[in-house]
């Protein structure tokens, strides 16, 4: 199954009030395994960059001024997304910005049914814990030392690892239970496939001679707890 993990950077927190998408990063997963295929783009938001937003992601108005508009790259982005489920952290935020940009160029929204929210998964799995991307990386031992500021592609790559851990860990895609056994040489394991020969049961009852030696041994012990009484001796000797 193909899935796309993605993250966005924006000029602010509210797409409906005029904040814009400025960066998107996407990572392809197939059967919960990263394929190495990614998509990354910066967009000119056609507006100023608030200082508080720039402090988060480090993208200045000057840096973005010569970047393409969202509409210029939308076909490449949609081709990468295809019809796959889309994984994001606090996914309603990213979906809101993505769909607002699509609406601006008269393109249909991406259906909410495609949304997989790792924030919701984390809250269900670890109630009462911290659920930020940093906190989840720490929980799962994922190295984020190179994350100085937020970046869409870097955060999507970290989130892909978090998502794999949230949904079963790194062995989930190995298919060990369903994998066919590899073909073996014709003579391999011959001892395992040879007909088994039934053997008669081994006698385990004590012989009269063994019982006699046992009784002689017990006479040397004062009041032994495991001494056989006469009926037991007769039964054992029968």
User: Any idea which residues carry the catalytic annotation?
Assistant: 150
**Residue 87 burial (CB < 10 Å; 0-12/13-18/19+)?**
buried
Which tokens hold the place of 50?
Answer: 């608030």
Residue 172: strand, helix, or coil: coil
CA distances (Å), origin 111, targets 18, 40, 56? 21, 21, 28
Buried b (16+ CB within 10 A) or exposed e, 220-236: eeeeeeeebeeeebeee
Residue keyed to tokens 């385990």: 204
Give the distance from CA 161 to its chain's centroid.
7
CB distance 89 to 133 below 8 Å: yes
Which tokens hold the place of 222?
Answer: 């004062």
CA-derived radius of gyration, the chain: 34
């Amino acid at each position: 199954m193909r899935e796309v993990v993605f993250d966005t950077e924006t000029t602010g927190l509210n797409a409906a009030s005029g904040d814009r998408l400025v960066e998107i990063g996407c990572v392809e997963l197939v059967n919960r395994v990263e394929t190495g295929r990614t998509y990354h783009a910066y967009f000119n938001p056609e507006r100023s960059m608030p200082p508080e937003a720039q402090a988060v992601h480090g993208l200045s108005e000057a840096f973005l001024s010569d970047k393409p508009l969202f509409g210029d790259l939308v076909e490449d982005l949609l081709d990468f997304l295809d019809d796959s489920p889309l994984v994001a952290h606090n996914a309603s935020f990213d979906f809101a910005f993505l769909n607002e940009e699509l609406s601006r160029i008269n393109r249909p929204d991406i259906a909410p049914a495609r949304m997989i929210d790792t924030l919701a998964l984390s809250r269900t799995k670890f109630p009462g814990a911290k659920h930020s991307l940093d906190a989840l990386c720490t929980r799962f031992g994922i190295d984020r030392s190179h994350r100085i500021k937020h970046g869409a592609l870097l955060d999507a790559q970290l989130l892909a690892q978090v998502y794999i851990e949230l949904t079963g860990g790194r062995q989930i895609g190995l298919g060990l239970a369903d994998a066919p056994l590899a073909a073996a040489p014709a003579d391999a394991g011959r001892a395992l496939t040879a007909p088994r020969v039934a053997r008669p049961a081994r006698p385990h009852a004590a012989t009269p001679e063994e019982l006699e030696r046992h009784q002689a041994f017990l006479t040397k012990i004062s009041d032994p707890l495991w001494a056989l009484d006469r009926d037991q001796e007769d039964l054992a000797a029968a």
